[in-house]
Amino acid sequence: MLDTFDLIAEATGRSEQADVVSDEFTAAQEKAKADLADEDVDGRRFAYVDGYIDGGNVALRPFGQGSFFGELGESLGLENAWTGEVDDAYGLGLTDIEGMTAVGDATVFYTSTDDGTSEDVIAELEKNPVWKALPAVAQDRVHPFPPGIWTFGGPRSGIQALQAYVDLLTK
């Protein structure tokens, strides 16, 4: 992400400003690691998803290897539980409710929205016995990220996401 950010900054003649933002991101990442130092998160499994309803069916997009939010979680010492197929561009998988059983006992984080879309997806999931049987659901370890964090964003989105991971893992 920082390489792309720096490339855009160079192309637009804003390398100096980009360096400041990149430094802010790096500092936030180090602070997040320090904030989690006493939380024993190393190796804790997680899955980050967003979802939508299509024709009455819930489709989930797990953020796997190569995804921005997956990489951020891993940078904090977490282990991304989604090992299924992902696209090359964004590191996103595609699965249904049953496919989520592949994440086992992982804590699940999801994208929340101000327009209620994410809550609609979660409400549909909660009607499904397979979803209810997931360890994270049964143990109340399914957590929404704050609305408005761009999951494909740059350093400033990354800073917000890092803080969300910290807030949710320390509650």
List pLDDT tens digits, range 24-72: 999 999 999 999 999 988 889 999 999 999 888 999 999 999 999 999 9
Collect all residues with Cβ–Cβ distance below 8 Å to 140 and sequence separation of at least 6.
none
Who has greater pLDDT, 21 or 54? 21
H or E stretch including 112?
A: none
H or E stretch including 143?
A: strand 142-144
d(C-alpha 92, C-alpha 26), whole Å: 24
Q: Residue 167 pLDDT > 90, yes or no?
A: yes
Q: Which domain holds residue 38?
A: 2-169
Number of domains in the chain: 1
Largest interatomic CA distance in the chain: 54
d(C-alpha 70, C-alpha 48), whole Å: 7
| pLDDT score for 114 | 79
Q: What is the mean pLDDT of residues 11-27?
A: 97
3-state secondary structure at position 50: strand
| pLDDT score for 90 | 95
- We report the CATH number of the domain holding residue 150 as 3.40.50.1980
From the number of C-beta atoms within 10 Å of its C-beta (0-12, 13-18, 19+), residue 97 rates as buried
- What is the per-residue pLDDT across 91-142, written as a single tens digit (0 to 9) for each? 999 999 999 999 999 999 999 887 877 778 999 999 999 999 999 999 999 9
| pLDDT score for 19 | 96
Q: Residue 142 forms beta bridges with which residues?
A: 108
Place of tokens 């090992």: 83
